[in-house]
């Protein structure tokens, strides 16, 4: 063992600082190496090779018993041979878009890949950790079996803290593990983070803290309040960001109570007979210093907006709209109507949008989307896929890149024919607005009925560079639509 240690020491420190020496009994060989050496490194490498052979010589061979378990049978069906071939071709040709599509559809069909493909996919899982879970899933029992035999693949199947070395694991591995644990057992994840938090550097502490957003609850308040005292500004910012909208906590209650004290809803006469509700703000109600200590900016940064309205607007983004409407005993639609009827509507809109997104409030999101100035992509993500189509139609022209990105979802939903034709027409006018991979991705979501519509673009524009470019893209999209049609899972 001492020879091995000397070799390692020389390799680490370099041959200029230390020179590995063979034992005396190998002096003849040592002299021969010294005589013929090209340089110190050459002598070291040759001496190290001789030393390893010398240590192993004369030892009795160790008994070896084959204990490799048999690969269990898979209960799931295997992917069809033709589609399996497409998957292999896409993998080897680096057609990432089509490969991802085939992988997703294989999972949806609850099929496994052929054993021939399993090693390739496990290697891909090592390279692309974000896709590892999907890749392992399609490998079935064969994948699990191979992972148990190969140390390089074994870490792909780690599922609990006993199987991960927190001290030596990479940051990404630990974050992934903590996120999974937070999903399955939030309390246990919190306990783990509490135990290791002080040992981590500031950047790590901030990144681990962000993971607490998964399954966050009032149970996390005490730990987050402690994190507010951290030396790192970044850590304190993350802790405050998590605490501000957390219903039932000291900070959120502070926000709500000030808002309710300062803002009331009263009735006023309209046209002498009619009564209508209006928002009234009491300028005499001032907040405590804690309000500003917990993240509310003290001086208005919006031109023409006084400090108090600026405070209330900020607070509005941290209060669940449904909880606020309930406190005022009105509907959410009515609360929104009163908010936008306020004389300084432009101040409220972005904060109402932030609240709708933060609390995934569907009624508020729909109300906001009806106003062009309130549009935000995240508002659409609150709605179901079916509910979004109304807004896709409304905003396709003015927000084309955003709408196209949402249409190309992870489920590969087929775009309705009429909307698909509008997308193709828009791209024909400006074909450079998206890249080649996006054209391929679009093809995998286009309806079969659009083939004849695409064909018109393939046949035109031989003398026009832009039209010729789109003609090539249309041809490529048509090829992928037909490829998709021929697949069986």
- Report the distance separating Cα 287 and Cα 307, nearest Å: 11
pLDDT beyond 90 at 297: yes
> What are the residue ranges spanned by the domains of the chain?
2-56, 81-157, 163-243, 251-382, 385-485
- Banded pLDDT at 462 (limits 50, 70, 90): low
pLDDT beyond 60 at 64: no
Helix (H) or strand (E) holding 143: helix 132-149
For residue 101, with 0-12 CB atoms within 10 Å meaning exposed, 13-18 middle and 19 or more buried, which class applies? buried
DSSP symbol at 415: P
For residue 26, with 0-12 CB atoms within 10 Å meaning exposed, 13-18 middle and 19 or more buried, which class applies? middle
Q: What is the pLDDT of residue 461?
A: 60
- Report the distance separating Cα 396 and Cα 403, nearest Å: 6
Cβ-contact 340, 371 below 8 angstroms: yes
Q: What is the largest CA-CA distance in the chain?
A: 117
pLDDT in tens, 311-326: 999 999 999 999 899 9
DSSP-based three-state secondary structure for 266? strand
Beta bridge partners of 277: 267
Cβ-contact 112, 145 below 8 angstroms: no
- Report the distance separating Cα 167 and Cα 289, nearest Å: 41
Axis crossing angle, helix 345-358 with helix 307-316, rounded to the nearest 10: 20
Helix (H) or strand (E) holding 381: helix 377-382
For residue 16, with 0-12 CB atoms within 10 Å meaning exposed, 13-18 middle and 19 or more buried, which class applies? exposed
pLDDT beyond 80 at 289: yes
Give me 317's structure tokens.
Answer: 């983004």
Helix (H) or strand (E) holding 478: helix 465-485
Contacts of 391 (CB under 8 A, 6+ apart): 369, 380, 383
CA distances from 142 to 70, 78, 286 (A): 10, 11, 67
Beta bridge partners of 436: none
**Cut 0.85: pTM above it:** no
Per cent of the chain over pLDDT 70 is 95
Q: What is the mean pLDDT of residues 168-175?
A: 85
- Banded pLDDT at 112 (limits 50, 70, 90): very high
Give me 353's structure tokens.
Answer: 């949008």
pLDDT beyond 50 at 161: no
DSSP-based three-state secondary structure for 270? strand
User: How, if at all, do strands 274-281 and 263-270 pair?
Assistant: antiparallel
Cβ-contact 23, 3 below 8 angstroms: yes
For residue 12, with 0-12 CB atoms within 10 Å meaning exposed, 13-18 middle and 19 or more buried, which class applies? exposed
- Report the distance separating Cα 377 and Cα 375, nearest Å: 7
- Banded pLDDT at 164 (limits 50, 70, 90): low
DSSP symbol at 318: T
pLDDT beyond 50 at 162: no
Buried (b) or exposed (e) across 246-282, using 16+ Cβ within 10 A? beebebbebbbebbeebbeeeeeeeeeeeeebebeee
Helix, strand, coil % in the chain, rounded to nearest 5:
65, 5, 30
Cβ-contact 425, 457 below 8 angstroms: no
pLDDT in tens, 346-384: 788 899 999 999 999 999 999 999 999 899 999 999 999
CB atoms within 10 A of CB 195: 10
DSSP symbol at 454: H
Beta bridge partners of 271: none
Q: What is the residue whose two structure tokens read 């309000």? A: 291
Whether the CA torsion 267, 269, 274, 278 is positive or negative: it is negative
């Amino acid at each position: 063992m001492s020879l091995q240690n000397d070799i390692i020491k020389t390799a680490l420190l370099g041959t200029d600082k230390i020179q590995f020496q063979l034992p005396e009994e190998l002096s003849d060989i040592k002299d021969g190496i010294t005589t013929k050496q090209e340089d110190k490194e050459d002598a070291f490498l040759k001496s190290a090779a001789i030393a390893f052979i010398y240590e192993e010589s004369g030892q009795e061979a160790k008994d070896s018993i084959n204990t490799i378990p048999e690969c269990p049978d898979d209960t799931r069906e295997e992917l069809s041979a033709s589609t399996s071939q497409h998957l292999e071709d896409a993998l080897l040709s680096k057609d990432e878009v089509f490969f991802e599509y085939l992988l997703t559809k294989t999972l949806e069909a609850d099929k496994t890949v052929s054993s021939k493909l399993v090693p390739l996919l496990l290697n891909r899982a090592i390279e692309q950790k974000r896709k590892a879970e999907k890749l392992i899933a399609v490998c079935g029992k064969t994948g699990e079996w191979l992972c148990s035999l190969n140390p390089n693949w074994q870490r792909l199947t780690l599922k609990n803290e006993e199987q991960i070395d927190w001290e030596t694991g990479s940051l990404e591995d630990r974050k992934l593990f903590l996120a999974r644990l937070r999903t399955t057992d939030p309390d246990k994840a919190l306990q783990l983070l509490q135990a290791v938090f002080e040992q981590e550097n500031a950047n790590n502490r901030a990144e681990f803290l962000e993971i607490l957003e998964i399954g966050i609850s009032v149970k996390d308040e005490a730990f987050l309040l402690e994190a507010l005292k951290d030396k790192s500004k970044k850590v304190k910012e993350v802790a405050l960001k998590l605490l501000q909208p957390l219903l039932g906590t000291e900070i959120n209650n502070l926000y709500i109570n000030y808002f309710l004290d300062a803002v009331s809803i009263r009735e006023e006469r309209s046209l002498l007979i009619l009564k209508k509700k209006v928002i009234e703000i009491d300028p005499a109600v001032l907040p405590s210093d804690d309000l500003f200590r917990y993240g509310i900016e003290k001086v208005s940064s919006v031109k023409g907006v006084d400090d108090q309205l600026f405070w209330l607007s900020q607070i509005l983004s941290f209060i669940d709209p449904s909880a606020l409407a309930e406190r005022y005993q009105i509907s959410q639609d009515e609360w929104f109507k009163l908010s936008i009827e306020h004389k300084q509507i432009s101040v409220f809109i972005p904060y109402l949008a932030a609240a709708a997104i933060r609390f995934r409030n569907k009624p508020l999101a729909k109300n906001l989307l009806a106003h062009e100035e309130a549009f935000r992509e995240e508002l659409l993500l609150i709605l179901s896929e079916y509910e979004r189509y109304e807004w896709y139609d409304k905003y396709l022209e003015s927000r084309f890149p955003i709408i196209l990105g949402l249409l190309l979802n992870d489920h590969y939903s087929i775009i309705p024919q009429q909307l698909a034709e509008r997308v193709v027409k828009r791209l024909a006018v400006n074909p450079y607005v998206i890249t080649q991979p996006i054209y391929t991705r679009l093809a995998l979501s286009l309806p079969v009925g659009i083939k004849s519509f695409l064909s018109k673009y393939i046949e035109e524009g031989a003398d026009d560079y832009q039209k010729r470019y789109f003609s090539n893209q249309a041809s490529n999209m048509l090829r992928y639509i037909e490829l998709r049609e021929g697949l069986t899972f």
